[in-house]
Amino acid sequence: MKTLTLLRHAKSSWDDTVERDFDRPVNGRGRRAAARIGRWIGDERLSFDHVVASPAVRVRQTIEGVEDGLGSMLQPLWDTRIYLSSAATLMLLAQQFSDAKDDALLVGHNPGCEDLLLMLVPPGSGPLRDEAEIKYPTATLARIELDIARWADLDDNKGRLSHFIRPRDLDPTLGPDD
């Protein structure tokens, strides 16, 4: 059995005038949300034996926030293929993970993270999947259990969504502004 955890980067700042989207930082609420997700990971005693992430600034800062909340380092491998990639690209990347690794964390962007979750977890498989189909907010963590022995066997509809944790689920002040 393998587990793939997807984490979308925290809320970014559109007020910051950066030249490239790649350099856009997280905002204050995003920093708080990332730290809160990190505390939740620690409370749940989740651990990852493989962490791969987009090198975009907002992802790097999300990981820093998660590490602050968790109280330990994730030590990600930075992979430029994750930056703004499609679900198909993310699937190919995950299929290449070492089979010696059972619990992977992938930190990236939408729509790739959301689309990958929707590819891996079959429609009608429960309320968590229904929530994910409505919206995959920033700093949201999705944990997908996979009944596979090898990452190369990762394919559509092979997953079961065990967790779909939005920052607002843990702290209502981290929810939408509406």
Contact by Cβ (8 Å): 74, 67: yes
pLDDT tens digits, residue range 103-120?
Answer: 999 999 999 999 999 999
The pTM of the full predicted model, rounded to 2 decimals, is 0.96
Contact by Cβ (8 Å): 113, 121: no
The superfamily (CATH) of domain 2-10+21-45+52-174 is Phosphoglycerate mutase-like (3.40.50.1240)
Contact by Cβ (8 Å): 87, 116: yes
pLDDT tens digits, residue range 122-173?
Answer: 999 999 999 999 999 999 999 999 999 999 999 999 999 999 999 999 999 9
